[in-house]
Structure 1
Amino acid sequence: MSRPSVPDIGLVYFESLEDQSFSDFRRYIEADGLAVRVESRPDPGPYAGIEWLIPTAVMVYLGRSYFDAFLKEAGKDHYHILKKALHSLSSRFFGDGAPKGRIVFSKGKAESENPRYSIFYSVVAQLGDGFQVKLLLQSDFDDELCNEAQNLFLDFLSSVYDGTLDMSSVRGLPDAVPVGNTLLIAYNSKDKILEVIDPIAQHRQPGNKS
């Protein structure tokens, strides 16, 4: 039987970061009827593009089918399993002992010696109609702040898919402008709220949201 083109939950990582935590993540979340895919990709060369849109070294992907179909059958127990699995996985990349790095762009320069958002780990979710939302996690977050952010993000996604979304639950959401097909969201740890991030806001003409 061929596997689905888009998994319910996926994890993609750079080959050089092979780690036992990736297999542990898969084993922890596996369940009957759940399409899970964990796979590596070659390490990239220099990038050309917006730093916050560049794929992180480890990316967790959440398909709409996970919320729309699987959870309706499996119930909320797996939702809590996913939260714990994400916490365990992300703890490898935040806090003491977290890997450090920078992004090299095609001009041979690093845009930032200390990137504001992690270049090692992110979570991306499918919204439908060709759009996705990416959770950016600040590089200086510790394990617990990262977990707070992920839990809020999952709750946001759940409310999107079950039709209970409160637009005020994410700062800037009513006026959000995706970049390409991606909406960027980060966690404001001071105010304990998710907020929309627009990396090209300063380049937009007044009144122009495209």
Structure 2
Amino acid sequence: MSGLHIGSEKRPIGLYAAFEWAIPTLIAVYILRPYLDAFLSEAGKDHYSVLKRALVKLLEKIYGSTLEQRPLRRSLLFSVQSATRDGEQIKFVFPEGVDHETYSTMLDEIFGMLAEHHSMEEGDRLSDQISNSTMLGRTYYFEFSEGQKSWIVIDVNSEIEKRKLAEHPSKDDN
């Protein structure tokens, strides 16, 4: 075909590089503001246990009854998404290969953080974490810290640096 020229261009890693955990997961559960408002009422607290049981069953169906060692640290299969009081998007990225009890703990922690965030004006854990964080696109991403037993915001800038180092190790590393 005349006039067709194919070339490649090397580009520095930046925010336009895809992070696997930023790609939409296969199954995403959206927790919307009206649900959180209802959840904060007394009747909503009863519904939380129903929702949590349903999510734990869903996780059991997704991941099976036995743990698998998977090569990814963060799941591409399941996430929980919500929004801040100000409408900014939040995505809780679940890890791979943890037991069902840990998934249950993670769900408790998500609902606790979201309930605290939507019932307070300021000073809640979620607001404190995102106040000095960088969004990727229009979303804050969180991962579960097993050491802290809580969700922490993913530092996008640190992730970019890690990827740069992995793709271009320094000569001292050889």
TM over 0.5: yes
Q: How far, CA to CA, are the matches of 2:115 and 2:97 in structure 1?
A: 27
1:47-196 equivalent positions in 2, closer than 5 A: 49-69=18-38, 72=41, 74-94=43-63, 96-97=65-66, 114-163=71-120, 166-168=123-125, 172-196=129-153
Extract unaligned runs of 5+ from structure 1. 1-47, 102-113, 205-210
Contact 2:135 2:156 in 1 (8 A): no
Whether the aligned pair in 1 keeps the contact of 2:106 and 2:144 (CA below 8 Å) is: yes
**TM-superposed deviation, 1:122:** 0.8
Q: Secondary structure of the residue that 2:103 maps to in structure 1?
A: helix
Structure having the higher Rg: 2
Q: How many residues align?
A: 145
Which letter maps to 2:61? Answer: R
Alpha-carbon offset, residue 151 of structure 1: 1.1
The one of the two structures with greater contact order (alpha-carbon pairs below 8 A, sep at least 6) is: 2
Q: For 1:130 and 1:164, locate their aligned partners in 2 and report how far apart those are by CA, in whole Å.
A: 14
CA shift in 2, pair 1:164/1:130, >3 Å: closer
Q: Could you list the runs of 4 or more consecutive aligned residues of structure 1 that deviate by over 6 angstroms after TM superposition? A: 98-101
Which has more helix, going by share of residues? 2
CA contact (8 A) 1:71 1:79 kept: no
Instruction: Compute the RMSD of aligned alpha carbons.
Output: 3.0
User: Closer, same or farther in 2 for the Cα pair 1:192/1:158, shift >3 Å?
Assistant: same
Q: Is the 8 A contact 2:40 2:115 kept in 1?
A: no
Distance 2:23 2:151 in 1: 20
**Alpha-carbon distance between aligned partners in 2 of 1:178 and 1:195, rounded to the nearest angstrom:** 13
Secondary structure in structure 2 of the residue aligned to 1:92 = helix
The corresponding residue for 1:10 is: none
1:122 counterpart SS class? strand
Note the alpha carbon deviations across 1:31-90, whole angstroms, 9 max, x for none: xxxxxxxxxxxxxxxxx7321110111111111111124653843111221122211211
Deviations 1:90-136 (A, max 9, x none): 122346556888xxxxxxxxxxxx22101111111122544111111
- 8 Å contact kept, 2:69–2:97: no
The one-letter code matched in structure 2 to 1:52 is W
